[in-house]
Homo-oligomer: A and B are copies of this chain.
Amino acid sequence: MMSMKCKYALKALIQLGMGYDKGYIMASTISEAENIPKKFLEQILLELKHAGFVGSKQGYGGGYYLKRKPAEISVADVYRLFDGAISLVPCVSLNFYEKCDDCKSEKVCLLKPEFLKIREGARVIMSKTTIQTFLNLAKKTN
């Protein structure tokens, strides 16, 4: 399960995607549209900004905008930012590798080869699903 933070981030990115290249969108607008506590959302948008996914402008008339193309922000990217590794165990993680401290030797770990396959399965599909994917769905529905 992903954290609320990650889910809120995806929802916010979709909202920003809907207004892509159309100026600034305020946190309060997204907050109301998606039922996300405003102050919590501000933190999230800030993290997204620091990570380079969104840009912002302060002051009256300000707000947030998508800095990358919707097709260039994947669920995997957002998941990694807020929830960390996609893999089930740290020792098969691409981006968050760590030795499992209970394992005596990685070379003879029985879990590892299969867990690599599971990670690849999850990673591929989460990487293929982007903000654009959700936007396409929104179009069809309307």
**Which chain A residues have a beta carbon within 8 Å of chain B's beta carbons?**
1-2, 4, 7-8, 10-11, 14, 34-36, 75, 79, 84-85, 87-90, 100, 102-104, 108, 110-111, 113-114, 117-118, 121-122, 124-126, 129, 133-134, 137-138, 141
- Specify the chain B residue showing the minimal Cβ separation from A14: B110
User: Secondary structure at chain A's binding surface: helix, strand, loop or mixed?
Assistant: helix
Q: Are B129 and A117 in contact (CB under 8 A)?
A: yes
Q: Are B89 and A1 in contact (CB under 8 A)?
A: yes
| Distance between Cα atoms of A40 and B111 in the complex (Å) | 20
| Distance between Cα atoms of A108 and B104 in the complex (Å) | 49
Q: Are B103 and A35 in contact (CB under 8 A)?
A: yes
Q: Are B1 and A104 in contact (CB under 8 A)?
A: no
| A111-B11, A117-B125 known; A102 vs B133 contact (CB < 8 Å) | no
The 5 closest A-B pairs by CB, nearest first: A121-B125, A2-B88, A35-B102, A110-B134, A122-B122
- Specify the chain B residue showing the minimal Cβ separation from A76: B118
